[in-house]
């Protein structure tokens, strides 16, 4: 009795039986009176005397009763047949959905569910298909992430293992230069670990932002000035323009500083000596904007979104000595901006023509500041 198809058939049958019973009771009560009235109106009320009229009246009632019983039986059979057909039409798509969800529970997501004609069932099947594609993409990203993390860890671990083994065997003395190289690789692993932790928190929406009313221009200038020595050591000219009017935003100052530092750090690595870097902060309509523009290697159109993917490396990227980047800095930076209700985007005229990275936050004003 708990099966849906059985309940559907019984519900059709019950409706048919109740309808037939109601019809039988009403007709059984009204038919004799209506028959007498019809006879009286036609002038045949006294035909055959009272006994003849009573016999005719009883025969009519028996005929109506028999016809109603036959009609009720036929209706019940028809209701059972059509109920079975309707239950089959309903349960078959549900069975396909159930089979697909069981396959998904086993990790097999490429199980398409046929879309039936019924609107509600079609929407359910479409939702399950969408769920399957989403789970497949999530699983693919998980597998790819594991492979990428393993790949990123392999190089520093190989270097550390080689240096330590050489020191143990006495092939290489444990001098300051050798230990410094090992320390660099350890820092690279630590940075990868920190970035992966930040990326996980950003994607799960648990960055734990400490929002305060701050001036985006002040944060931008401070972050840029911290990197000025690195830019000048690389032979680059750094121009910082944060305007004269404060750009008030509700933000976590440390996280926004991390984003600006990442944007400018990438620009420094992408720009050869003699190039120029421009850092600007301004208010535009309802947003506060930070732009970092470089005259470096630029990006192809296909790379404008891919640079925000985990561990993505731009093809033919300029090699930089001592670059220990984890490859997920921009991914983390975009996650931070989106957690603030903003975004981080990239623009470039093409390869060799520089690039501009734009961080955008909604303006919220500062205490005592009129907007």
Note whether 12 and 87 are same-domain residues.
Answer: yes
Q: What is the pLDDT of residues 321-353, one digit of tens each?
A: 555 455 678 888 898 898 899 999 999 998 889
Note whether 174 and 274 are same-domain residues.
Answer: no
Note whether 235 and 329 are same-domain residues.
Answer: yes
pLDDT of res. 194: 76
Note whether 46 and 159 are same-domain residues.
Answer: no
DSSP string for 204-217: TT------EEEEHH
Residue where a domain stops, chosen among 108, 141, 176: 108
- CATH number of the domain bearing residue 131: 1.10.287.130
Residue 114 within a domain:
no
Note whether 236 and 355 are same-domain residues.
Answer: yes
Report the run of H or E that residue 291 belongs to, with start and end. Answer: strand 287-294
Residue where a domain stops, chosen among 203, 237, 252: 203
Residue where a domain stops, chosen among 203, 234, 250: 203
Residue 115 within a domain:
no
* Low-confidence winner among 136-140, 258-262, 294-298 (lowest mean pLDDT): 136-140
- CATH number of the domain bearing residue 316: 3.30.565.10
Q: Give SS3 for 342.
A: coil
Note whether 356 and 218 are same-domain residues.
Answer: yes
Note whether 235 and 328 are same-domain residues.
Answer: yes
Of residues 90 and 46, more confidently modeled: 90
The whole domain housing 266 covers 212-362
How many whole angstroms separate alpha carbon 23 and alpha carbon 122?
37
Note whether 178 and 88 are same-domain residues.
Answer: no
Nearest CA to 95 out of 131, 134, 125 is that of 125
Residue 367 within a domain:
no
Q: What is the pLDDT of residues 136-162, one digit of tens each?
A: 877 777 777 777 777 778 878 888 888
Note whether 196 and 216 are same-domain residues.
Answer: no
Note whether 358 and 230 are same-domain residues.
Answer: yes
pLDDT of res. 119: 75
How many whole angstroms separate alpha carbon 206 and alpha carbon 250?
17
What is the number of domains present in the chain?
Answer: 3
pLDDT of res. 370: 43
How many whole angstroms separate alpha carbon 185 and alpha carbon 327?
15
Residue 83 within a domain:
yes
Q: Give SS3 for 368.
A: coil
Note whether 217 and 354 are same-domain residues.
Answer: yes
Q: What is the pLDDT of residues 189-225, one digit of tens each?
A: 887 787 777 777 766 666 677 889 999 999 999 999 9
């Amino acid at each position: 009795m708990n099966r849906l198809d059985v309940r559907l058939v019984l519900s059709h049958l019950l409706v048919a039986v109740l309808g037939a019973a109601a019809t039988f009771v009403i007709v059984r009560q009204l038919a004799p009176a209506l028959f007498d009235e019809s006879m009286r109106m036609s002038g045949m009320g006294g035909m055959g005397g009272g006994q003849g009229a009573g016999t005719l009246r009883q025969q009519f009632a028996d005929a109506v009763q028999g016809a109603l019983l036959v009609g009720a039986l036929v209706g019940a059979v028809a209701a059972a047949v059509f109920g079975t057909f309707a239950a089959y039409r309903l349960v078959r798509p549900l069975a396909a959905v159930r089979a697909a969800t069981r396959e998904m529970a086993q990790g097999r997501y490429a199980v398409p569910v046929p879309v039936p004609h019924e609107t509600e069932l079609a929407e359910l099947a479409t939702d399950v298909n969408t769920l399957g594609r989403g789970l497949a993409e999530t699983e693919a990203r998980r597998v790819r992430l594991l492979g990428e993390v393993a790949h990123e860890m392999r190089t520093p671990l190989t270097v550390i293992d080689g240096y330590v083994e050489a020191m143990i065997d006495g092939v290489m003395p444990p001098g300051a230069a050798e230990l410094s190289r090992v320390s660099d690789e350890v820092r690279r692993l630590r940075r990868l670990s920190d970035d992966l932790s930040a990326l996980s928190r950003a994607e799960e929406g648990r960055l734990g932002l400490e929002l305060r009313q701050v001036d985006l221009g002040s944060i931008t200038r401070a972050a840029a000035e911290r990197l000025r020595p690195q830019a000048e050591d690389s032979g680059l000219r750094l121009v910082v323009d944060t305007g004269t009017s404060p750009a008030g935003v509700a933000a976590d100052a440390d996280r926004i500083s991390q984003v600006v530092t990442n944007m400018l750090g990438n620009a420094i690595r992408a720009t050869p000596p003699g190039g120029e870097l421009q850092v600007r902060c301004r208010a535009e309509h309802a947003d506060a904007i930070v732009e970092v523009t470089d005259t470096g290697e630029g990006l192809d159109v296909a790379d404008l979104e891919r640079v925000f993917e985990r561990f993505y490396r731009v093809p033919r990227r300029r090699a930089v000595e001592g670059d220990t980047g984890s490859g997920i800095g921009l991914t983390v930076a975009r996650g931070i901006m989106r957690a603030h209700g903003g975004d981080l985007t990239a623009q470039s005229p093409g390869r060799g023509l520089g690039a501009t990275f734009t961080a955008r936050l909604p303006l919220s004003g500062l205490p005592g500041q009129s907007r």
